[in-house]
Amino acid sequence: MACSRKCLSLELLSFWCLISYVQARPNAEAMALLRWKETLNQSSLQSWTLELSNGNLTSHVHSHCKWFGVSCNKDGSIASINLQGELFGGNLSNLDLSSFPSLVSLNLSHNNLKGDIPPQLGLLSNLAYLNLSLNYLSGFLPVSLANLTQISLLYMGNNLISGTVPKGLANLSLYEVHLSINNFSGPLPEFCQKAPLKYLTAALNNFRGPVPKSLRNCTSLVRVRLQNNHLTGNLDQDFGVYPNLNYIELSYNRLKGGLSPNWGGCKNLTQLKISGNDITGNIPGELGNLKQLGVLDLSSNQLVGEIPKELGRLSTLNYLSLSNNKLSGLPAIIFKSLQWFYPISDW
């Protein structure tokens, strides 16, 4: 009998501890947000206050789940923080990210956040969506981001981030990677190894080294922007056929090689921009198979020969730039739908 009472007491104690933990977790998350709020220059977070019950802070009603920009899961733990476009100032170092073990989505884009990106981000083991774009964040991308094994969408564009992109990001199952308009340097990681990458934007940085070899067979690509870097490679060897691709810009890098006829297999392509490189050879007639192509910019390369008459089949083409090459001829039918045309004579 004594043993039974003792076992029952232990079970009750365990149950009480579990209930206490479940109630304490939301308050720990709420207090972390309140401490961060005190350091921010903001006016949109007035709802971020804890409710009182009999003079005490409530925990069982999960009042923080009603706060602006905050969403909770069924257990009352914060699963999403979305403060996009609130234009508040501050930094991330005052936000205790370790307090949010259930966080799945974090969107702090289009604000005035400054300072470094804290390594604590790597503790968010359930995070699937991270958007810190359109801020003034600086420093480096933490190596700890490679610990975000659940992440699929990564937005870091339009900041002041420098240094190299951690190689470990290539081991994540990323569907979208946005790094444009920063101060990144070094090589691009070999993305599209663990998941079907769809969007890769890394334009207007200082990336150097070869185009990632993994992109050649990344047939899931929909949109690629790598322009205005210092990337090297061979255009006809480093890129393949992309049935879903609708936009690609590789302008102003250090790419060599020729224009492969394979580009004619990218049936959904609407814009193809490869200006300002060192592309040689002829323009393949297979580009005339791109029935949805609206923009073709091959200017400032080393292309030679006649402009193929097959381009006249491009009924949706409204912008064509072939200037600063060594091309000849221009089928009259091309002018049919053009709104903007930069001639071949501007060598």
> Domain of 132: which CATH number?
3.80.10.10
pLDDT tens for each residue of 296-327: 999 999 999 999 999 989 999 999 999 999 99
> Checking DSSP bridges between strand 78-82 and strand 70-72, what pairing results, if any?
antiparallel
| pLDDT computed for residue 330 by the predictor | 72
Tell me whether residue 221 is in a domain.
yes
Q: What is the pLDDT along the chain (347 residues), one digit of tens a residue?
A: 444 544 444 443 443 443 344 444 558 999 999 999 999 988 889 999 876 555 555 444 568 999 999 999 999 999 999 999 999 999 999 999 999 999 999 999 999 999 999 999 999 999 999 999 999 999 999 999 999 999 999 999 999 999 999 999 999 999 999 999 999 999 999 999 999 999 999 999 999 999 999 999 999 999 999 999 999 999 999 999 999 999 999 999 999 999 999 999 999 999 999 999 999 999 999 999 999 999 999 999 999 999 999 998 999 999 999 999 999 887 655 655 555 555 554 43
Give the whole-angstrom CA distance, residue 149 versus residue 309: 50
pLDDT tens for each residue of 101-117: 999 999 999 999 999 99
Cβ–Cβ < 8 Å for 220, 244: yes
Tell me whether residue 21 is in a domain.
no
| pLDDT computed for residue 130 by the predictor | 98
| pLDDT computed for residue 23 by the predictor | 46
| pLDDT computed for residue 333 by the predictor | 55
Phi, psi of 128, deg, nearest 5:
-110, -25
Determine which helix (DSSP H) or strand (DSSP E) holds 18, and give its type and residue range: helix 2-37
Burial class (CB in 10 A: 0-12, 13-18, 19+), 128: middle
| pLDDT computed for residue 343 by the predictor | 55
Tell me whether residue 193 is in a domain.
yes
Q: What's the start-to-end Cα distance of the chain, in Å? A: 100
Tell me whether residue 2 is in a domain.
no
Write out the residue range of the structural domain in which residue 144 sits.
75-342
Give the whole-angstrom CA distance, residue 237 versus residue 217: 11
Tell me whether residue 36 is in a domain.
no
Q: Which amino acid appears at position 40 of this protein? A: L
| pLDDT computed for residue 339 by the predictor | 57
The total of structural domains in the chain comes to: 1
Phi, psi of 332, deg, nearest 5:
-60, -30
Tell me whether residue 26 is in a domain.
no
| pLDDT computed for residue 346 by the predictor | 40
Tell me whether residue 338 is in a domain.
yes
pTM for this entry:
0.88
| pLDDT computed for residue 10 by the predictor | 45
Tell me whether residue 312 is in a domain.
yes
| pLDDT computed for residue 52 by the predictor | 58
| pLDDT computed for residue 44 by the predictor | 86
